[in-house]
Amino acid sequence: MRIKKGLSTLFLSHQNADPDAVGSIFFLKNRIGGDIGLPDPPDEVAKRLVKYFSMEYTLEPDLSKYEQIIVIDTASREQLRPIEIDDVEDLIVIDHHSSNHWKHDVIFQKRTSSAEIVYDLINPEEITEKEAVGLLAGIMTDTSHFRRADFQTFRIASEIMEKSSVKVEQVANIIEKERSYSEKICRLKGIQRSDYIEVNGYLVAYTRVKVFESSVSNLLLNVGADIGFTGSKRDEMFLISGRVNASLVDSGIDIGKIFKDIGASETEISGGGHEGAAVLKGIGDCDKYLKKCVDHSVDHIRKKGLGRAKN
């Protein structure tokens, strides 16, 4: 399984595409050419990148038109829905999520971002400013601004900066615009409506908002929760964003796996992501699944025998 130049190529990535997805696709598309398809519009931060790149994508790609399909930063085919993909011969999956469960061969590496994998795949001698911003944006957002970075992250970030003269601040200025008024309101309401339970000294907080679920889950951790869940519902659908702080991740709590397990037990639900950040979504009652998320994480804390003094 090799990426081939000269074939008509379609790039795909996951629902609610993040800067790692968009930045990695932009770079690879620049190098080998092709079209971009997404299941739904990108997340708020990735939208800023799309605008900066003047990147075009389609929400309803015709898969039969292409000789080669490259799926990036996507742990499972469920995360491409409503785009349905068969096991076509020239399907290439590039991913770094430990929850990856494609049955297909995957260019998988345990890296902190997909941007690092595509950079190493191409190993470019030169890199344009936009490419550099895209890759660095993916690396920075997937590592929480280098907090989860390892030595390979820094090697690649350093090479990209050396080859492009792009600095971290320039990327930060693009991806860190002031929060919109509606996001600020959602964050305030999220805190207002939040509740929490305590288990063995750990705080599990949960709340509901209409949008900006991941922003509100991050906020729950910022204000002191060890685990945060933010649910939203739209018509029949619900979406829950989950976050776990670094110390619980180090103790073996993996919210990506917890969500994947919940998703695997029911047909209308899918879940996945990273150890510290993941999404559960599907058709069903949001409150019921919020409670399920809380119950599962409490079980995991208890089963692992984790405990902490309340000081």
Interface with Mn ion in residues 12-51 (CB under 5 A): 20
Q: Please name the amino acid found at residue 53.
A: F
Closest CA to 38 of 103, 90, 101, 83: 83
Q: Which is nearer to Mn ion, 44 or 142 (CB)?
A: 142
Nearest CB to Mn ion, comparing residues 117 and 306: 117
Nearer to Mn ion among residue 20 and residue 131 (C-beta): 20
Task: Choose, by CB under 5 A, the member of 44, 142, 226, 275 that binds Mn ion.
Answer: 142
Q: What's the closest the beta carbon of residue 118 comes to Mn ion, in angstroms?
A: 11
Q: Which of 73, 116, 213, 254 binds Mn ion (CB under 5 A)?
A: 73
φ/ψ of 129, rounded to 5, equals -60, -45
Residue closest to Mn ion (Cβ):
20
Closer CB to Mn ion, 140 or 225, in the complex:
140
Q: Name the residue with tokens 């598309």.
A: 29
Smallest gap from residue 42 Cβ to Mn ion (A): 13
- The 150-189 contact track toward Mn ion, x by CB under 5 A, reads ----------------------------------------
Nearest to 294 by CA among 222, 217, 228: 228
Binding mask 235-264 for Mn ion (x = CB under 5 A): ------------------------------
Q: Does 68 bind Mn ion (CB under 5 A)?
A: no
Residue 102 or 196 with smaller CB distance to Mn ion:
102
- The answer to whether the beta carbons of residues 60 and 82 sit under 8 Å apart is no
Angle ∠(110,113,114) on CA atoms, nearest 5: 90
Q: How far is the CB of 18 from Mn ion (least distance, A)?
A: 6
Give the sign of the dihedral formed by CA 233, CA 238, CA 239, CA 244. positive
What character string, x for contact with Mn ion (CB under 5 A) and - otherwise, covers 107-136?
Answer: -------x----------------------
Q: How far is the CB of 114 from Mn ion (least distance, A)?
A: 5
Minimum distance from CB of 274 to Mn ion (Å)? 8
Q: Which residues bind Mn ion (CB under 5 A)?
A: 20, 73, 114, 142
